[in-house]
Amino acid sequence: MHVFGPFGRFPLAAERAYNVAEATLDAHERMKSRVGLERTVFVQPSGYANDNRAMLHALAQAGTRGRGVAVIDPGASRATLEELHAAGVRGARLNLHTLGSRYAGDAAGWIARYGDAIGPLGWHLQILLDADGLARVEDALARATVPVVLDHMGLPEGAKGVAQPGFQAVLRLLACGHVWAKLSGADRITRESGRLFDALPFMRALCQAAPERLVWGTDWPNIGFHSRSQVDGAQLLPHRELDAGGLLDLLHAAVPQDEVRNAILAANPARLYSF
């Protein structure tokens, strides 16, 4: 999930693809209690660029029940990275999908630089990129020296089905022993139809490929759909109120086996995030 605010202390970055209302840890904890979730992984949103203060503030409040995925400069000092590690950060996010101009040049080079930076800490590299983009960097990800997590099922286009070349690249990557995927973002990949259950074929294909390297998440607070360009400062993008219980129902439909589903919800993330 992401956390936004309080904006009086943690304003959004000047360059961003959206404006949103605050989404605080207290609100998130209320949602978790309703559906029986205990642990939280905070992912640094693109709206904060590499200013991780809001995420770290929430992480400190969560304590041992929380972990973080930060946005870092791959040239950051070892001392800086070790401070993040001590705070509970276990991964770095490389967002090549939104405002990709922050990562100009060869994407494969960025993947290698991040691997060199975070490898000594045992972190993973979380990649946000659509399926066609992942296909273009498939070789670089297959050669990565750190665990790689593909965000939101690799962002395939729901209407194109599991046979689309980009998603087939995602499945090939999952055959590599170091590549993981998140069973999240069902609403993102089915935005054309608006039917969450249209994501079932993708979820089932991922589960068949590597159930031991899948994790699940709500993607709370479900930021509204937006373009990849910077927005007018006056535009406010409302959060979409997705029902976390409904997302868990979707997971149950995709993964009916209790043992496998429990691994995706608890055992796998315990390994990935060192809970």
Q: Are 20 and 239 in contact (CB under 8 A)?
A: yes
pTM of the predicted structure, to 2 decimals: 0.94
Residue 226 confidence (pLDDT) = 67
Residue range 73-81: mean pLDDT, rounded: 95
pLDDT at 268 over 60: yes
For residues 5 and 55, give the distance between their C-alpha atoms in angstroms, rounded to a whole number.
Answer: 9
Residue 260 confidence (pLDDT) = 98
Residue range 47-52: mean pLDDT, rounded: 93
pLDDT tens digits, residue range 58-75?
A: 999 999 999 999 999 999
pLDDT tens digits, residue range 139-168?
A: 999 999 999 999 999 999 999 999 999 999
3-state secondary structure of 214: strand
Q: What is the CATH architecture of 25-273? A: Alpha-Beta Barrel (3.20)
Residue 119 confidence (pLDDT) = 97
Residue 206 confidence (pLDDT) = 98
**Residue 181 or 98, more confident:** 181
Measuring CA to CA, how many Å separate 49 from each of 15, 212, 255?
Answer: 8, 31, 34
Give residue 242's pLDDT band: very low, low, confident or very high (50, 70, 90): confident
What token pair was written down for 132? 């066609």
Give the count of beta carbons closer than 10 Å to the beta carbon of residue 75. 8
Measuring CA to CA, how many Å separate 202 from each of 46, 100, 148, 183?
Answer: 25, 25, 19, 9
pLDDT tens digits, residue range 183-234?
A: 999 999 998 888 999 999 999 999 999 999 999 999 999 887 766 655 555 4
**For the chain, domain boundaries:** 25-273
